[in-house]
Amino acid sequence: MTPPLRNLALCLGLLCSTTALADARIEARRHFQRGMAMINGGEFDRGVEELKEAYAIKPHPNVLYNIARAYLDAGRVGEAQEYFRRYLSFNPPDSEQVRATLARLDEATARKEQEVAVATAKPRSLEMPPPPTTTSGGAAVDAESVKKLNALMARLETAVAKAEQLATRPDPEVADPLPAPLISAGTSADEEAADAVPYEETVVTASRRAQTTLEAPNASTIITGEEIRLSGATTLVEVLRRVPGADVMGLGVGSANVSLRGFNQRLSNKVLVLLDGRTEYQDFLGLTVWSAIPVGLEEIERIEVIRGPGSALYGANAMLGVINIITRAPGTGPVGQFSITGGMGDSAFASFVHSASSGGFRYRASAAFSQADKWSRDFDDSRPDIASRVEESDLALRSARGNLTTHYAFNREVSVSAAAGVNRLFTEIYPLGLLRNFYFDGLSAYAKSDLAAGPVHLKFFWNHLTTTAGPQYSALGEGRLDSTPVSNVFNGEALWQHSFELGGRHELNLGVEGRFKRVSWSFIEGLREELHLAAFAQDDWKIVEPFRIVASYRLDRHPLLDNGRPGLAHSPRVSAVWVAAPGHALRGSFATAFREPTFLESYTSVRIPIPGVPGASALTEGSTTLRPEQMVAFEVGYRGELPEIGLEWDLTGYQNVVRDLINLSAVERVRPEDSFDPVTNTYLLGRSSFRNEAGAFTARGVELGAKFSPVDGLSLTGSGAFQTIGASEVPEDYVCAPCTQAPAFKAFLGANYRTQVGFDFSVEGAYSSRTTWIEREPSAADPTQIQFVPNALGEHFVVNARIGYRLMNDKVTVALVGQNLGPRHQQHPFGNFVDRRFFGTLTVTP
Amino acid sequence: MSRSLVAGLTLGLLLSACEPPPVIPTADRRQQGANSRIEGEILVSARSRGNVVLFLFDVNRPPPPQGTGRPVAFTFIPANAIFGASLEDTAHAGPFVAPFAFSQVPAGTYLIRGFLDAYGGTTTPERTPDFIPWYGVTSEVNRGDVGGAYVDPLTRAFRTVTLAEDAEGRLQPVSGVTVTFQESALTVVPVDRPAFEVVTDSATFSPQLGNLETNKVVQLNVAPLRAGVIDQRAPAFLFRYQDENLDGVVDQLNGIPQLWPRVIVRKLADEANPALLVDQNDRDRNGILDPDGFVDYPHLDLSTGTPVAADGQPDLVVLAAGWNPAQVAAQLNDPGGVPLTEPDPTRPGFTRFVTVPMTSLQLVLGSSAGPLALDASNPLAPAPLAVIPPGLYAIVLIQQTGQTWRLPNELNPPVASELNLPSDFPSQGFVLTVTPR
């Protein structure tokens, strides 16, 4: 064999002879299930090996705990102690209890060793292999110790048996004094279900409590932190392309709009984005500024995407869905991690995350810097009539951010969390109408606190945004539109969770919420304030074991909903979930949802220069009498999983009927007496107002998502969505923009292959079918005629790939990432031409 | 090999890392094509006070009175930016200077005109700014306004501005353009626009091609209009022989003496045109004949007097019309039939034809050869049509000052109500109905 062929064969041999390292969660889950089954069957050694394999693929402290319990079950106390210690090294929430247990075991072992040394002649009363830490032969224990250990073993056996019955769920009550991992309910990573099983996919966003995705009443997609990191994505929105039905529209490197099931637009405003339960949706604009999110991809535990209406729990703006970004629990994961990335487009990213704990106190601190140039520029610097209004006209994104999250557990029942973050950033946003890309040079900050006291959860947060924003390019001689909005949102929420039996098991959530918004902005003529109040209730009723009904209702009081006066919005939801067979669930739901008018839509009064006519402008006005956008949704779904072969899938069909869409009207004449605007010294061509559109927009679609690990080391993720949107009850000549702007077909396929020799390979592709965007433009012949112009946009492919190499026991990872490897394309007619970029990344986890 | 590959990749990455993003225009029209800017200053020497409105015209589409072109852009310079501390001090005549700029202007040659929308000072202390660009009835100069233009400082001839590419193909900006507003008898607009009404027993005209007997005479009276934003309190017809080349000879077209005000009787669009504001073959009202979907009529071969096939080009249909020769002779000629003249104040030693303000003019619909329709798409050589197209026609007057008036206009009561304009001027809804015999 020639040297090159030999090298190739060696290489292939190395790659193919590795242990299974597929989609980490699915693969680990497979090993975990197999191991627990073996342990239940008395095959401790093989079972423990499987658990260790699961742990090697995806470390999870609960696995260590289960290994420890298995060893203890097998009478191998020393190994059990070792694994309890390893479990404790993760600073789990139940550390104190496990420490106490460990201390008792240590004490018993020490006493046993001592007694063995003293009374070697005494027969052993407990059939147990000697602990590996003992060096002498048989050890004698006193009757009390034997009794204690026997009792302990008996309880453990009961616990294990119960765990087997519950599909390997650890039960803290039965296992006491060896508690199951303590994880409280809530919406952040440290608030998973108390009965969470390692590697079982759970979702907290769908019902405000942890439940498996099989039990979730909505179509939900979970993107794990590992998936994110393996994908090589540098922005949050990139990883959302895998979500069935997600419309991800990148206009610039730092600017994107994300919608679910259509209705995407510049200033996409119908999807609620949360970070650990705190809204990232900018209420006053109706926009999520993705670049302003103060945590990095490396801090994300998982992203839960709930497709479909969420107003019944989250109120306004959770109309088409909820995206909840859940970060790693403070004090968990690596103590420190550095990461630097550099590459094309003047791109540079650097981050540091530190996480630690002491006693009941845990924290995570992070700091990061990122910057990147645009993919393409709209104007050349040499253009004599256009001036760039920013110093660095190539720059698309620059962000310096810091975040601190802390948690203190007083005991199992009472804990308090506090978090704060700040992000000083420069990015772009793309406003509506005649406006094009704006620079966004500002500061976002937040502070949040959570108090959990038994069934009561209190949450308070403050969101702040100050920015200077304006057109990146403006014509010389034209009026300027720069402004400095300042937004402060104060939100308080109380949630009470209670379980009871009444014709079945009920999980009841009752909550109240208040939000005070205060926005100062010249676009809305000064200072505006709004107070929103809400109350909500949800009952998850397990009528009989495979069948559940989830009923939710939320009442929102909005200051303008009743024709400019305070009014109420009702958001009911009823869902039925039938787990027809283990691993197979059918669900159906009916819900309504709404989106409240934003400050921009309610109060705006701004004069937009007419391009090419310096003496003219068009007035854009808000309306305080807007009705909220409303949606009635039906959804049916089937979720299935075959963990034995590593396959999970979800098939969903839906119909959303949206009414009262809020859009800008065509430009209509102002009264002649109002034609001259003394503020801008221009003549007002007309007025374009936010208004509710007549008619109904019906979106029907089918979505399929699947994850599959067919062979060891290979993980496949795929999704597809087909959708149509039609308009009814509209005038004959109505041009339906939402009907043509949503791609009819979207697909995603991703594959990653992880080897034990350190190489990781990942490639992902997303396809979006062609669209036609109806945007307003001044007529070429006469700029004072504003027309609605159809802009056809071809289909596009987004292909990303990553090659990573782990070394030094995975403490160091180097990776080469290629983004947008498909053809250069636009995702919106006014957006950048998205082009390929390559990055090199170094990650150090000491 | 692997080392060189890694080194190559690293080098490539480093080199490409600092490449600036390419410039690729999006669907936004502003980004497409090469545009440039014209900038300069206005120089105002006047005791009148007011805002200045500047218009940019394509040189091929000059404004009235030279043509009927509409501006491609306009800009506004507020009075306080021009006069500063002297805004209230009307004794001070300047000169005052303020900058201006037109941007996003495509390559081409342009004229710059403007006026000072006078609301104070010496001439019209009682007026308020009355220019509104969006309505035909409010978008021109009125009495007391001061006209200005980009002119040669010595000869006062109009100058043009050309945006052209340099040797490297880049469109260059033009700066240093000075637009002057010199208050004088020549530049101060003496009267309001020729707002008029039609006095006739019938709004219907039933011509027969070439039949002199079927010519029709209607009377146009000035119509003072004042309500809301409309302020045409002192309209007048400035009656005068045309002499564009200043040779002292009356200009003639096809042997017919040309007079101010010019009159155009233009065919309106037949299709949905409830406001009667759309001219035939100019659906978008941009002053340029529609390149497609137009109406084309057969022309008349003058040499044979027979029709020829339509030429495939859009027609700008006007009816032959002119002022009553008897009235002209009575007002503009001496008893011997010689045009009256007076000294020309701008050219010492020269004379010009007299200007007679009139409040009533008689319009003859038809020509000396009887009724005739013309295709005036080439205004220098109107071509007779083989037919007189039936339908609705508007009457447009163009004064030597560049002021115009048109019937019907936005003050037509149904239209005015819709536009929130004063709706109490029914005379402004007059439309001529032509029904050929």
For A231, the enclosing helix (H) or strand (E) is helix A225-231
pLDDT of residue A599: 95
A166 pLDDT tier (thresholds 50, 70, 90): very low
- A612 closest CB neighbour out of B104, B284, B286: B104
A contacts of B420 (beta carbons < 8 Å): 669, 671-673
A114-128, A265-279, A328-342, B56-70: range with lowest mean pLDDT: A114-128
- Tens-digit pLDDT profile for residues A738-770: 999 999 999 999 998 988 788 999 999 999 999
**Rounded mean pLDDT, B393-420:** 93
The answer to whether A395 and A374 have CB atoms below 8 angstroms apart is yes
CA-wise closest residue to B74 among B131, B1, B36, B5:
B131
Q: Does A675 touch chain B (CB under 8 A)?
A: yes
Mean per-residue pLDDT of chain A: 85
A195 pLDDT tier (thresholds 50, 70, 90): very low
The answer to whether A141 and A125 have CB atoms below 8 angstroms apart is yes
- A346 closest CB neighbour out of B18, B23, B39: B18
- Measured CA to CA, the distance from residue A612 to residue B72 in angstroms comes to 9
Residue of B11, B52, B134 to mutate for A, most A C-beta atoms under 10 A: B134
- Measured CA to CA, the distance from residue B33 to residue A383 in angstroms comes to 10
CA-wise closest residue to A155 among A180, A177, A125, A129:
A177
Residues whose CB is less than 8 angstroms from the CB of residue A433 and which lie 6 or more positions away in sequence, other chains included: A608, A620, A664, A688, A776
CA-CA-CA-CA dihedral for B162, B165, B166, B169, to nearest 10: 180
Q: Quick check: A779 and B9 CB within 8 A?
A: no
- Measured CA to CA, the distance from residue A364 to residue A330 in angstroms comes to 5
B contacts of A840 (beta carbons < 8 Å): 10, 13
- B76 closest CB neighbour out of A615, A831, A838: A615
- A385 closest CB neighbour out of B9, B20, B105: B105
**B141 to each of B192, B308, B419, how far by Cα in Å?**
8, 42, 21
pLDDT at A476 over 90: no
Closest Cα in chain B to A616? B75
Q: Give backbone dihedrals phi and psi of A838, rounded to 5 degrees, phi first.
A: -120, 145
pLDDT of residue A632: 97
B13 pLDDT tier (thresholds 50, 70, 90): low
- Tens-digit pLDDT profile for residues A401-434: 999 999 999 987 899 999 999 999 999 999 988 8
The answer to whether B41 and B97 have CB atoms below 8 angstroms apart is yes
Q: Give backbone dihedrals phi and psi of A477, rounded to 5 degrees, phi first.
A: 90, -10
- B36 closest CB neighbour out of A384, A783, A832: A384
Q: Quick check: A477 and B103 CB within 8 A?
A: yes
Q: Quick check: B73 and A681 CB within 8 A?
A: no
B contacts of A681 (beta carbons < 8 Å): 51, 76-78
Q: What's the burial of B233, exposed, middle or buried (CB within 10 Å: 0-12/13-18/19+)?
A: middle
pLDDT of residue A394: 94
CA-wise closest residue to A210 among A529, A540, A569:
A540
- Measured CA to CA, the distance from residue A764 to residue A752 in angstroms comes to 8
pLDDT of residue A132: 36
Q: Quick check: B26 and A377 CB within 8 A?
A: no
Chain A: nearest CA to B347, how far in angstroms? Answer: 36
CA-wise closest residue to A198 among A356, A25, A75:
A25
**Rounded mean pLDDT, B68-94:** 88
B202 CA to centre of own chain: 29
A contacts of B102 (beta carbons < 8 Å): 477, 614
pLDDT of residue A725: 97
- Tens-digit pLDDT profile for residues B157-184: 899 999 998 888 888 999 999 999 998 8
Q: Does A477 touch chain B (CB under 8 A)?
A: yes
Q: Give backbone dihedrals phi and psi of A104, rounded to 5 degrees, phi first.
A: -65, -40
Quick one: angle between helices A95-118 and A143-165, nearest 10? 140
Closest Cα in chain A to B23? A377
Q: What is the CA radius of gyration of chain A?
A: 29
- A343 closest CB neighbour out of B17, B30, B73: B17
A498 CA to centre of own chain: 26
**A804 to each of A24, A758, B30, how far by Cα in Å?**
16, 8, 43
Q: Quick check: B23 and A830 CB within 8 A?
A: no
pLDDT of residue B119: 78
Q: How many CB pairs under 8 A join A and B?
A: 176
Chain B: nearest CA to A577, how far in angstroms? Answer: 47
Chain A: nearest CA to B39, how far in angstroms? Answer: 9
The answer to whether A472 and A413 have CB atoms below 8 angstroms apart is no
B contacts of A379 (beta carbons < 8 Å): 23, 25, 31
Chain A: nearest CA to B373, how far in angstroms? Answer: 29
Q: Give backbone dihedrals phi and psi of A408, rounded to 5 degrees, phi first.
A: -135, 125
A78-87, A145-154, A399-408, B143-152: range with lowest mean pLDDT: A145-154
A contacts of B13 (beta carbons < 8 Å): 342-344, 838-840
Enter the tokens of residue A196: 């969470």
Q: What's the burial of B8, exposed, middle or buried (CB within 10 Å: 0-12/13-18/19+)?
A: exposed
- Tens-digit pLDDT profile for residues A796-814: 999 999 999 999 888 999 9
Residue of A11, A379, A385, A608 to mutate for B, most B C-beta atoms under 10 A: A385
Q: What's the burial of A410, exposed, middle or buried (CB within 10 Å: 0-12/13-18/19+)?
A: exposed
Chain A: nearest CA to B72, how far in angstroms? Answer: 7
pLDDT at A196 over 80: no
Q: Quick check: A475 and B103 CB within 8 A?
A: yes
- Tens-digit pLDDT profile for residues B273-320: 788 889 999 888 878 888 888 899 999 887 888 888 888 899 999 999
Q: Does A386 touch chain B (CB under 8 A)?
A: yes
Strands A682-692 and A676-677: antiparallel
Q: Give backbone dihedrals phi and psi of A485, rounded to 5 degrees, phi first.
A: -75, 145
> To 5 degrees, how large is the angle CA A122–CA A128–CA A129?
100
Q: How many separate helices (H) and strands (E) can be counted in chain A?
A: 13, 42
The answer to whether A73 and A44 have CB atoms below 8 angstroms apart is yes
- Tens-digit pLDDT profile for residues A18-40: 343 446 777 788 788 888 888 88
> To 5 degrees, how large is the angle CA B158–CA B163–CA B164?
130
The answer to whether B279 and B396 have CB atoms below 8 angstroms apart is no
DSSP state of A129: P
**Rounded mean pLDDT, A538-543:** 93
A212-221, A243-252, A455-464, A821-830: range with lowest mean pLDDT: A212-221
pLDDT of residue A541: 93
**Rounded mean pLDDT, B233-259:** 88
A contacts of B30 (beta carbons < 8 Å): 386, 436, 475, 611-612
- Tens-digit pLDDT profile for residues A69-83: 888 888 888 888 899
Q: Quick check: A342 and B27 CB within 8 A?
A: no
% chain B with pLDDT above 70: 94
A34-43, A483-492, B190-199: range with lowest mean pLDDT: A34-43
The answer to whether A617 and A649 have CB atoms below 8 angstroms apart is no
Q: Where are the beta strands (DSSP E) in A545-604?
A: 547-562, 565-581, 584-595
Enter the tokens of residue B286: 């941009």
B contacts of A377 (beta carbons < 8 Å): 20-24
pLDDT of residue B64: 87
For residue A658, the cross-strand partners are A631, A697
A contacts of B25 (beta carbons < 8 Å): 378-379
pLDDT at B426 over 80: yes
Chain A: nearest CA to B422, how far in angstroms? Answer: 10
Does residue A72 or residue B388 have the better pLDDT?
B388
Closest Cα in chain B to A778? B29
- B23 closest CB neighbour out of A376, A816, A829: A376
- Measured CA to CA, the distance from residue A223 to residue A229 in angstroms comes to 10
Residues whose CB is less than 8 angstroms from the CB of residue A234 and which lie 6 or more positions away in sequence, other chains included: A297, A341, A347, A349, A370, A372, A817, A819, A839
Q: Does A10 touch chain B (CB under 8 A)?
A: no
Whether cis (ω within 30° of 0) applies to the bond prior to B65 is yes
- B229 closest CB neighbour out of A347, A476, A672: A672
Q: Quick check: A378 and B26 CB within 8 A?
A: yes
pLDDT of residue A117: 72
Residue of A375, A613, A670, A777 to mutate for B, most B C-beta atoms under 10 A: A613
- Measured CA to CA, the distance from residue A214 to residue A244 in angstroms comes to 17
- B101 closest CB neighbour out of A376, A476, A781: A476
A29-38, A238-247, A624-633: range with lowest mean pLDDT: A29-38
% chain B with pLDDT above 90: 52
For A420, the enclosing helix (H) or strand (E) is strand A414-429
The answer to whether B385 and B373 have CB atoms below 8 angstroms apart is yes
Q: Does A677 touch chain B (CB under 8 A)?
A: no
- Tens-digit pLDDT profile for residues B105-131: 999 999 999 999 987 555 444 667 789
Q: What's the burial of A446, exposed, middle or buried (CB within 10 Å: 0-12/13-18/19+)?
A: buried
Q: Does A823 touch chain B (CB under 8 A)?
A: no
A130 pLDDT tier (thresholds 50, 70, 90): very low
With H, G, I as helix, E, B as strand and everything else as coil, classify residue A500.
strand
Helices marked H in A410-457: none
A473 pLDDT tier (thresholds 50, 70, 90): very high
DSSP string for residues in B145-187:
-EEEE-B-TTT--B-EEEE-B-TTSPBPPEEEEEEEEE-STTT
- Measured CA to CA, the distance from residue B145 to residue B156 in angstroms comes to 19
- Measured CA to CA, the distance from residue B424 to residue B139 in angstroms comes to 20
pLDDT of residue A75: 82
End-to-end CA gap in chain A = 41
Closest Cα in chain B to A435? B28
The answer to whether A17 and A713 have CB atoms below 8 angstroms apart is no
Task: Look at the block and give the residue holding tokens 């790659």.
Answer: A15
Chain A: nearest CA to B298, how far in angstroms? Answer: 29
Enter the tokens of residue A151: 């009792």
Task: Look at the block and give the residue holding tokens 């720069």.
Answer: A482
A contacts of B166 (beta carbons < 8 Å): none
**Which amino acid, B165?**
E
**Rounded mean pLDDT, A210-235:** 86
- ipTM value of the model? 0.91
- Tens-digit pLDDT profile for residues A499-510: 999 999 999 999
**Rounded mean pLDDT, A672-696:** 92
> To 5 degrees, how large is the angle CA A69–CA A75–CA A80?
40
